[in-house]
Structure 1
């Protein structure tokens, strides 16, 4: 009986030192990539590539960038931002400081935005701007305006990961 109580207390204590978001969400998130028109090649800054529509499991705590290319269309780069989720504050209340630290350090309390990464491509020779779309195909903003809004944060994240070299010729972004 005493042994059962000790085991139950140990199990409860071990749950208390893990973060709620880590348990509930995990440290990766599926991110969908779409294009209008379909058939664009997506290349992530970390190296993997696919053809739209497609999906990757990506680390919640890591900023990223996807390059879209398709014959006859202008190539476009889209920043993917790791944003702090609302669960962080609830985690501090429910899981305490230890849970918040665990989730903060492994990125589990974050979510990646945009998701889906849905881009309306622009034909070469056109004066139009590539557009970032929501999951229903409704325009959110131009890709350039969205990238400008999140650039400082995302580029710092990519720099920490060794995927961005600030101050070098052309502000190089590339895989390790």
Structure 2
């Protein structure tokens, strides 16, 4: 009887957990770099680091990363938590329960951009900060990226932090 109960508990645990929760966890190592190195990065969740750095961040949280370095224009990047592809596999293979679990804890989400690599613009220049991919190629300006995700990110971090309202 005990082995039947143990088996039932094991099956229930598997059925009630989401695939992404098991495979990914609810947090991710988030790498942040700047060109040049040595920039201070302050995240809206209260974390701070000096580039290059890696922090363990929750997958489900939209964030703002304020980046500053003496001699360079300060900038900020909005980090968006987006639904990943594994949630669809969860629905097909595991049914709705796993998808609900993964959706609630954010384990099926991914942070974008990841890694966060910013080339800062020197003070006094006409240039602006740009986002780079892992190979060092320019993806977009920081402004263009922020404009693209601003309204969505504002829903969770608030309009002021997302740049929809002028700071007072």
| Matching residue of 1:151 | 150
Deviation of the 1:36 alpha carbon: 0.5
TM-score by length of 2: 0.93
Provide the secondary structure at the position in 1 that maps to 2:97.
helix
In 2: Cα distance, 1:30 partner to 1:65 partner = 16
Indicate the SS of the match to 2:95: helix
Contact 2:83 2:110 in 1 (8 A): yes
After TM superposition, list the pairs within 5 Å mapping 1:76-155 onto structure 2. Answer: 76-155=75-154
Cα shift readout 1:114-161 (whole Å, capped 9, x = no counterpart): 1110000000000001110001111000000011001111111213xx
- Report matched runs for 1:11-30 at 5 Å: 11-30=10-29
- The alignment's C-alpha RMSD in Å is 1.9
TM-score (norm 1): 0.89
| Aligned length, in residue pairs | 168
Which structure 2 residue ranges, 5 or more long, are not aligned? none
Alignment correspondent of 1:170: 166
